[in-house]
Amino acid sequence: MFRLRVCTRLAAQLPRAALVNQIFQREIKRSVRPVLIELTKRKRMQKNPISQPRNKWIDWNRDAELYAFNQRLSEKFKTDLLEQAFTHRSYIIQEEDERKKVGLESQLQLVDNQELIDEGKQIASLVVENYLNEVLPLAPRECILALKNYLLAEGNLAKTSSGIGTKDLILTAEYPVSEETLMNTFYALVSALNRSVDLEHVGKFIRDIVISTLAEKDLIEIWCPEDPMEILNDILDREGRAYAESRIIGQTGVNTLIPVYNIAVYSNKEFLGSGMGDSIEEAEKMAALNALLRMFDLLDSSKPISCNLPIRDAECNSSLESWKRSDKV
Amino acid sequence: MSIVRRSQQWGTFARMWHVFDATWQDPYQSSQIIAKYLLGRHKPISHPMNRCGDHVVVINSSEIALRGDEWQMRVYFHHDTYHGGASWTKAWELHKKDPTMIMKKAVYRALGNNLTRHQAYARLHVFLDDKIPLEIQQNLSSQIKQLRPVPQRLDQISPEELENFPQIVKLPETYVLT
Amino acid sequence: MVFQTVALMTRARGPDEFWRKRRIFRLSSHFRGRFRNCYSMAIRAVHRSLQFATKGRDAKYDIIRQIWMNRIDSAAMEHGLTYKAVKEGLTRSEIHLNHKSLADLAVWEPRTFKSLVNIAHERVKQDGLRIMGYLKAPARVLSKGK
Amino acid sequence: MACSNFSRLLQLGARACTSTIASNTIARQSPLVPKLWDLNVRYYRKMKGVPRHLPWFPPKPPATPDYQSEVVDQSEENEKLITEVSKEINKQIAEDKTGRLFAIVHVAGKQFKVTVSDIIIIRGYWPPNIGDQIKLEKVLLLGSKDFTLVGRPILNRELVSIDATVIEKTLSNTITHFRFRKRKQYRRIHFYKYQHTYVRINSITLNGEVNKKLEVEGLDRVY
């Protein structure tokens, strides 16, 4: 088994003569080892290792790859729009410069994707916000915006973009492709899909590829209210209920380095939430936060974000300043 | 980790402080239960690699009850490493010298022989009576159930109660019991 | 025998032992001292470690099962029942959750586990088993399904 | 402490869940199937480990049920209890306020506790292929924030549906099976890998009402 693996690995590395050896010989020949050592040494001595983007290799068939991209995602991108979405401004400038150097005067018949990017940004923002409003109807507007910013952040979108296989298809002057370019390409693709099919279909595309990543995330890690007690009291005041009152419902190891306090908050003897902490202040904060999350329906036990709802316009959630439970329930 | 998760974890892995009243309890039977608490085996999250043991405060260790003639027959061995340094102490002698010692030794044995023993043993606090320091008293949050209920002794019953207790036969005062 | 050239005088030394040793050294790369780099010591250590790995793969499940049982027991004791009684009561009620699921429930879903314990308790009481001990059965539980 | 406090706080809810077990729709057992304990009654009567009987303890419960005592008919009360609880559950289902649902499913000989968007790994040969949409039908238990439905042994497959997708079929790491006897010239080495199937749980849903008596059942599939 090991032997087989070594052989296959060698086969990839060695010239054809060695490969023949591997097939007809039982063991690896004595000459193999010094050759490999020499090769490794030379590789290490190379100062600037040559690396080329995949799309500069001679066996690269761009048309086939574009077709495969469409098929892989089961989408119906129009070919010219897809071509445009992958073509960045920097690539066109670079190409024209090279042509001038050679002495060619004719203009390139390429259109860059700047227009698509701008349009795609608007569409993505709209769709994500709408969907989050629908799926988290009780969450405040601040939470929705934070989640949206997280989803549409550069790093996240770049990861998504390279995940669907845009990295090698992008035509740009820079190499390796930067995160910003990857993100812009995703926006351009969104817009291209919008022009190819329709807005609802784009909504589903974004829902399946971008929003579904939220299902495995801890939402509180992305958005957490700063001063939960104050917010809780504001909400209770607005609803015409008594202010939150905290009570210690359990404590242990008070005089040790690792004390635990369990504090619950009540409003007019009605239980709102409870939390644990290593000090009374911390536990009180956690209790207030628990009460808030209970109201906003963001607990572990509340309904998970579903990724199969239809795309439609949703009402904008109210912000923390005007959030009221009676509006929602 | 979000602060909610952190708080959840802090609560889950809390080191609790239990109190155990050793009055009229067999130290060797109760040590089996105490050892469980010290090693954290009473929690559903327990795992050999998970240090989740609790503190146990044993009170009234001078009131323990050994079974049968164990006070005479149980012998504690010690050797001071010199020639002829072996010594054997009977349980009643040891208990007279240090009323917490039998309880401690019983728990030490029940903890099992591995590397967690010393850490777990450090979480055991034995007191000979119910007077425990205030800082330890404030830490307490739970009580371990006694193995058997403490029966009431005749000398603890007030004379009035004894007087009023219903009797089957009222013996005359002149009747002499031999 | 007449050798025409120097090259033909060389003895055929067979295959290169470097690759065979390399396979062993890969497995001994995390060992301590000379057991890592000296072949004759490394091969012995690798053989021992592979034997341990083979045996340990089976032994692991015994330990895991012990942990599950301990977890179920400790969670059941919180509600005053033993592991044995819970398992017995559930089996008699035709609830065939295995050790793994019960241990999972004990850790992550304490309320569900409590309801299961109550069912088991009621069942054990109904069938008059002695393993129930002296505990009182919980109120408002029906364990007889149709 | 967390667990015990938690359970104590929410004792009321847990009581509510326990009563659902008796509902007629969920729990159903065939009279033809021999019960597991029928064979072993004698064994249990001989079982040891009973606590010692001390004089100040209450008397032992009888080893066998007391058949001669008067049986109080509680069926009406029980029925009332069952309807009460199932009404509450059905209200939650109708308003879609069940929250996150979890379930214990029996797949390929193993039990898994799953919730939405979980991935489970099934070991060994298992026919479904990548991209297959499957419905997991052996649901042993379904739980939510406020109630638990326990199957005896499984829940009605029309009541609960768990949809899943096979997302990956791959092999495990190489496992080396090595046997060796010293001084006996005995050495065997085998390498093997298990097949792994990754299954993503897409949704867990409760269809219809709990404890609802249907006129016709089992129409969802015909053999």
Put simply, whether A74 touches D (Cβ < 8 Å) is no
Token reading at D149: 């439905």
Question: Is D56–B8 a contact, with Cβ atoms under 8 angstroms apart?
Answer: no
Q: What is the pLDDT of residue D115?
A: 95
Question: Is D2–B12 a contact, with Cβ atoms under 8 angstroms apart?
Answer: yes
Model confidence over C64-101: pLDDT tens digits? 999 999 999 999 988 888 899 999 999 999 999 999 99
CA dist., res. D96 & res. A297, Å (int):
13
Query: Is A321 strand, coil or helix?
Result: helix
Identify residue D60 by its one-letter amino acid code. Answer: K
Question: Is C71–B45 a contact, with Cβ atoms under 8 angstroms apart?
Answer: yes
CA dist., res. B6 & res. D5, Å (int):
18
Residue B118 has pLDDT above 70, yes or no: yes
Model confidence over B18-28: pLDDT tens digits? 999 999 999 99
Question: Between A122 and D20, whose confidence is greater?
Answer: A122
What's the mean pLDDT in D115-141?
95
Strands (E), chain B: 17-21, 55-59, 75-79, 86-90, 124-126, 142-143
Question: Is D179–C54 a contact, with Cβ atoms under 8 angstroms apart?
Answer: yes
CA dist., res. C88 & res. C122, Å (int):
11
Question: Is A30–C19 a contact, with Cβ atoms under 8 angstroms apart?
Answer: no
What's the mean pLDDT in D57-81?
70
Query: Is B88 strand, coil or helix?
Result: strand
Q: Assign D68 a pLDDT band (cuts: 50, 70, 90).
A: low
Spatial CA neighbour of A229 closest among A302, A283, A297: A283
Contacts of D82 in chain C (CB under 8 A): 142
CA dist., res. D17 & res. D10, Å (int):
11
Q: What is the pLDDT of residue D14?
A: 41
Spatial CA neighbour of C143 closest among D29, D47, D72, D4: D29
What's the mean pLDDT in C29-54?
96
Is there a contact between A68 and A93 (Cβ–Cβ < 8 Å)? Answer: no
Highest mean pLDDT pick, A122-126, B174-178, D5-9: A122-126
Is there a contact between A157 and A181 (Cβ–Cβ < 8 Å)? Answer: no
Residue D192 has pLDDT above 50, yes or no: yes
Give the gap in angstroms from C-alpha B117 to the nearest C-alpha of chain D: 23
Question: Between C29 and D38, whose confidence is greater?
Answer: C29
Q: What is the pLDDT of residue C139?
A: 63
Rounded to the nearest integer, the mean pLDDT of chain A is: 88
Question: Between C138 and B31, whose confidence is greater?
Answer: B31
Q: What is the pLDDT of residue D39?
A: 43
Q: Which residues pair with D163 in a beta bridge?
A: D135, D203
Give the gap in angstroms from C-alpha A225 to the nearest C-alpha of chain C: 26
Is there a contact between B148 and D54 (Cβ–Cβ < 8 Å)? Answer: yes
Strands (E), A128-255: 245-252
Q: Assign A269 a pLDDT band (cuts: 50, 70, 90).
A: very high
Give the gap in angstroms from C-alpha A215 to the nearest C-alpha of chain D: 7
Question: Between C129 and B175, whose confidence is greater?
Answer: B175
Write out residues 14-33 of A within 8 Å (CB-CB) of C.
26-30, 32-33
Model confidence over A66-95: pLDDT tens digits? 999 999 999 999 999 999 999 999 999 999
Report the percentage of chain A scoring pLDDT > 70: 91
Angle, nearest 10°, between helix axes A114-135 and A79-86?
100
Residue B153 has pLDDT above 60, yes or no: yes
Neighbours of B79 (CB within 10 A): 9
Residue C53 has pLDDT above 70, yes or no: yes
Identify residue C69 by its one-letter amino acid code. Answer: M
Spatial CA neighbour of D26 closest among C143, B31, B19, B105: C143
From B11, which residue of chain D is nearest by alpha-carbon distance? Answer: D2
Residue A176 has pLDDT above 90, yes or no: no
Is there a contact between A293 and A220 (Cβ–Cβ < 8 Å)? Answer: yes
Q: Which chains lie within 8 Å of chain C at 3 or more CB pairs, if any?
A: A, B, D
Residue A16 has pLDDT above 90, yes or no: no
Give the gap in angstroms from C-alpha A46 to the nearest C-alpha of chain C: 26
Burial class (CB in 10 A: 0-12, 13-18, 19+), A12: exposed
Specify the DSSP element, H or E, that contains D180: strand D175-181
Sign of CA dihedral C115, C121, C124, C125: negative
Peptide bond into A137 cis (omega under 30): no
Spatial CA neighbour of D43 closest among A248, C88, B56: C88
Is there a contact between D179 and C56 (Cβ–Cβ < 8 Å)? Answer: no
DSSP state of D198: E
| A311-315, B82-86, D5-9, D112-116, range with the lowest pLDDT | D5-9
Residue B7 has pLDDT above 80, yes or no: yes
DSSP state of D116: T
Report the percentage of chain A scoring pLDDT > 90: 70
CA dist., res. A208 & res. D165, Å (int):
15
Q: How far is CA A75 from CA A68, A96, A194, C90, in A?
A: 10, 32, 11, 51
From B43, which residue of chain C is nearest by alpha-carbon distance? Answer: C74
Question: Between A134 and C125, whose confidence is greater?
Answer: A134
DSSP state of B105: H
The distance between the two most distant Cα atoms of chain A, rounded to a whole number of Å, is: 88
Residue D129 has pLDDT above 80, yes or no: yes
Residue A272 has pLDDT above 90, yes or no: yes
Q: What is the pLDDT of residue C124?
A: 86
Model confidence over C100-135: pLDDT tens digits? 999 999 999 999 999 999 999 888 888 877 766 555
Strands (E), D68-171: 102-107, 110-115, 119-123, 133-136, 139-143, 148-150, 160-171
CA dist., res. A306 & res. A137, Å (int):
12
Residue A175 has pLDDT above 70, yes or no: yes
Q: What is the pLDDT of residue A328?
A: 56
Residue D44 has pLDDT above 50, yes or no: no
Write out residues 295-314 of A within 8 Å (CB-CB) of D.
299-304, 306, 308
Q: How far is CA A255 from CA A111, A258, B11, B134, D185, in A?
A: 71, 8, 17, 10, 65
Q: What is the pLDDT of residue A24?
A: 52
Contacts of B16 in chain D (CB under 8 A): 1
Model confidence over B83-116: pLDDT tens digits? 999 999 999 999 999 999 999 999 999 999 999 9
Residue D78 has pLDDT above 60, yes or no: yes
Is there a contact between A263 and A246 (Cβ–Cβ < 8 Å)? Answer: yes
| A131-135, A269-273, D51-55, range with the lowest pLDDT | D51-55
Q: What is the pLDDT of residue D209?
A: 87
Contacts of B42 in chain C (CB under 8 A): 74, 77
Q: Assign D92 a pLDDT band (cuts: 50, 70, 90).
A: very high
CA dist., res. A3 & res. A15, Å (int):
19
Q: How far is CA B119 from CA B100, B115, B139, in A?
A: 19, 8, 19
Q: What is the pLDDT of residue A310?
A: 86
Q: What is the pLDDT of residue A104?
A: 83
Put simply, whether D148 touches C (Cβ < 8 Å) is yes
CA dist., res. B100 & res. B94, Å (int):
9
Q: Which residues pair with D171 in a beta bridge?
A: D195
Pairing of strands B17-21, B142-143: parallel
Q: Assign D29 a pLDDT band (cuts: 50, 70, 90).
A: very low
Q: What is the pLDDT of residue C12?
A: 72
Question: Between C11 and C69, whose confidence is greater?
Answer: C69
Q: What is the pLDDT of residue A37?
A: 95
Specify the DSSP element, H or E, that contains C74: helix C39-78
Query: Is A12 strand, coil or helix?
Result: helix
Is there a contact between A229 and A288 (Cβ–Cβ < 8 Å)? Answer: yes
Q: Assign A270 a pLDDT band (cuts: 50, 70, 90).
A: very high
Residue D213 has pLDDT above 90, yes or no: no
The dihedral over CA atoms of B40, B45, B47, B52, expressed in degrees to the nearest 10, equals -40
